[in-house]
Amino acid sequence: MQAIWQSESVVARTQIIARSLRHWTGRELLPGGFSPAELAEKVFLAPFVLVAHGTEADPVLNYGNQSALTLWEMSWAELTRMPSRLTAGAPERGERARLLAAVAAQGFIDDYSGVRLSKPGRRFRIGPATVWNLLSETGRPAGQAAMFSRWDFR
């Protein structure tokens, strides 16, 4: 069975995520010169959480590394079918919507924190998180991504 990070679509999505982070912040997703396949594996197995969603009217998550899958207590198939708004509980969704609007306008933010909800309903606070717009190779909107290394369960 093929590992998640070996999928052509995951390798391509990782490239969009990395290129977009560099575009907005000047930072690399991971230091070092990796081939696209190596970067996809290293990012998927990294100790930080990385998630991304597309450009649908109700954006659906299309990427979550192993740290994200563990934190949200979901499989890849579950995570990548879930509208990203459902990563937050109902009381936090207004705050999350304001965050995404700010990112859409500015390109990225580096200091987001908020409460999220795992599949079984465990609440956890994330942050600080970097959230940024994703751009295709031609500069078209391709969604948004979020990355963070700190969280604590409530």
Report the b/e string of 64-88 with b at 16+ CB within 10 A. Answer: bbbbbbebbebebeebbebebbbbb
Average pLDDT for 148-152: 96
pLDDT of residue 98: 77
The pLDDT value recorded for residue 95 is 75
- The predicted structure's pLDDT at residue 45: 98
**Domain extents for the chain?**
48-153
Q: What is residue 91's predicted lDDT score, i.e. its pLDDT?
A: 62
**CATH fold of 48-153:** Beta-Lactamase (3.30.450)
pLDDT tens digits for range 89-147: 766 767 777 777 888 888 999 988 889 999 999 999 999 999 999 999 999 999 999 99
Residue with tokens 């991971």: 30
CA pair distance 14, 140, nearest whole angstrom: 16
Of residues 88 and 43, the one with the higher pLDDT is 43
Give residue-wise pLDDT tens across range 61-78: 999 999 999 999 999 999
Q: What would the DSSP string read from start to end of 43-90? A: HHT-SSEEEEE-SSSS-BEEEE-HHHHHHHT--HHHHTTSBGGGGS-G
**Average pLDDT along the chain:** 93
3 state DSSP class of 118: coil
Predicted local distance difference test score (pLDDT) of residue 101:
80
d(C-alpha 135, C-alpha 17), whole Å: 8
